[in-house]
Amino acid sequence: MIGVNGCIQELAICFNYKAAPMWDTSNKALPTVLIEPWVIGSNGPWLAVPEARY
């Protein structure tokens, strides 16, 4: 289940969606969105994988 906080609760992974300051090269009318998966650990959230651009 995905909660209102944007977390997938069962996996304890949060997704931070941000609009990138750039434009998609294949379609100039659509902005590129960066998706950053964060894993909640004992020391707080940390970036699980490098940023993926879609």
Query: pLDDT tens for residues 11-25?
Result: 444 444 444 344 444
Q: Do the Cβ atoms of 54 and 35 come closer than 8 Å?
A: yes
Place of tokens 């650990």: 41
Residue type, 5: N
**Exposed, middle or buried: residue 36 (CB in 10 Å: 0-12, 13-18, 19+)?**
middle
- What does the mean pLDDT of the chain come to? 48
pLDDT along the chain (54 residues), means of 10: 48 44 47 50 52 47
Cα distances from 45 to residues 6, 15, 18, in angstroms, run: 13, 11, 17
d(CA 2, CA 25) in angstroms, rounded, equals 31
